[in-house]
Amino acid sequence: MNIHDGHIRPITRDAGARPLVDVVIEIPRWSFLKRGSQGDIDFVSPLPCPFNYGSVPEYIGLEGDLLDALVLGPRLPLGTHVRVPAWGAIRLMDRGLSDDKLVCSVVPPSQLELQRVLGFFQFYAKCKALLNALRGQFGRNACDGWCDAGSGSGSYEADYIEWLTFSDNAQAVVDDVNRIRHHPLVPGRIPIYGYIYDVATGRLVEVPAATEAGKAV
């Protein structure tokens, strides 16, 4: 985004020149519930979110989570998948980590909408600083204004990584435990357990079938 004489203007009004992103809505407009990318409730806000808020599954932000995005316009149901142009990005710092937000809209945002978005995130940064302090989490919290969508968080580098994903996480754990259980260098008296790390909660979830497969013999 460019700022001239106090006015915020998109770099281009041509939607065809804007990067198109696929956004999954996690917080419908005017919702009080802040949800994570896995759908779990993070916290209940004292104020409703004035935008549709979600993430872009194909991109990872600089803080290591899915890239955040807001979609202007009418309220969209939870879980909606929408492909929209990104008209810019808001640069945020959360506990010293970059936490940029893509600003998306089917049509070019108006001057008033851009001002409201910037004002909201300036207020949001102050609230997040207070919340982080209460949680004992410190670091710089601030809204550093607009940047072009192409220079915001996220990277195409993930397109060139073979992630070797599993179609069935639990079965993959069972297979790994079986492989270890039957290895000649692993004594049978040693029990082996299998867990899945839940990235949303930070908890280890035991896989019962893996525990059964790895019991001592």
pLDDT bin (cut points 50, 70, 90) of residue 11 is very low
What is the rounded distance in angstroms from the CA atom of residue 106 to the CA atom of residue 64? 27
Hey, how many other C-beta atoms are within 10 angstroms of the C-beta on 24? 17
Residue 1 has pLDDT above 80, yes or no: no
Look at residues 159, 187, 203 and tell me which one is the last residue of a structural domain. Answer: 159
Asked if 145 and 90 touch (Cβ cutoff 8 Å), the reply is yes
pLDDT of residue 105: 94
Residue 193 structural domain: 169-213
What is the rounded distance in angstroms from the CA atom of residue 146 to the CA atom of residue 3? 8
Q: What sign has the CA pseudo-torsion 23, 28, 32, 37?
A: negative
The tens digit of pLDDT for each residue in 100-154 reads: 899 999 999 988 898 899 999 999 888 888 888 888 888 888 898 888 765 545 5
What is the rounded distance in angstroms from the CA atom of residue 54 to the CA atom of residue 36? 9
Residue 2 has pLDDT above 50, yes or no: no
What is the rounded distance in angstroms from the CA atom of residue 88 to the CA atom of residue 149? 4
112 in a domain, yes or no? yes
The tens digit of pLDDT for each residue in 41-86 reads: 766 777 788 999 999 988 877 767 788 999 999 999 988 999 999 9
What is the rounded distance in angstroms from the CA atom of residue 24 to the CA atom of residue 54? 5
164 in a domain, yes or no? no
194 in a domain, yes or no? yes
pLDDT bin (cut points 50, 70, 90) of residue 25 is very high
Q: What CATH number has the domain bearing residue 122?
A: 3.90.80.10
Per the structure block, which two tokens stand in for 28? 């419908």
